[in-house]
């Protein structure tokens, strides 16, 4: 097994598939990180990357960050990790609320909006005429 660029993470090998799903026999490597075995510095580094990524309109990174690092946020760890975990959770929740409100408003008002409502969709459902 090859060494991973990160400390304490094994390299997992999966078979490479073609578009038809056939296995070519070659192995493609993916790094797998075990947060329990990672040092506090490595955890803080990964948490920071996901936290910063969430600010670039990628809310799923905040949601993942929150759930991954929640157990470590209160184990006497770095206050930065705790702060980034809490802000990630709040940011992810805000995005979920915004998306839920938008989807419900769109579903209720699409027909009323007429052509403008139809133009906002990707599949162009047939509305009332």
Q: Considering the chain, what percentage of its residues have pLDDT values greater than 70?
A: 71
pLDDT surpassing 70 at residue 36 = yes
Tell me the per-residue pLDDT of 95-115, one tens digit each, with 9 for 90 and over. Answer: 999 999 999 999 999 889 988
Confidence grade of residue 63 (pLDDT, cut at 50, 70, 90):
very high
Q: What whole-number distance in Å separates Cα of residue 50 and Cα of residue 67?
A: 12
Whole-prediction pTM value? Answer: 0.66
More confident residue, 6 or 40: 40
Enter the DSSP assignment of 29: E
Place of tokens 């905040």: 62
> Does pLDDT of 88 surpass 60?
yes
CA dist., res. 51 & res. 23, Å (int):
36
């Amino acid at each position: 097994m090859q060494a991973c660029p990160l400390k304490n993470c094994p390299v997992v090998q999966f078979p490479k598939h073609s578009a038809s799903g056939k296995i070519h026999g070659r192995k493609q490597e993916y790094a797998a990180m075990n947060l329990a075995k990672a040092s506090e510095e490595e955890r803080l580094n990964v948490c920071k990357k996901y936290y910063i990524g969430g600010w670039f309109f990628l809310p799923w990174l905040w949601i993942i960050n929150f759930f991954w690092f929640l157990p470590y946020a209160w184990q006497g760890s770095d206050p930065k990790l705790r702060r980034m975990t809490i802000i990630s959770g709040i940011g992810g929740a805000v995005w979920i609320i915004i998306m839920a409100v938008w989807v419900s408003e769109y579903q209720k008002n699409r027909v009323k909006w007429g052509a403008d409502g139809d133009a906002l969709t990707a599949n162009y459902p047939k509305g009332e005429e």
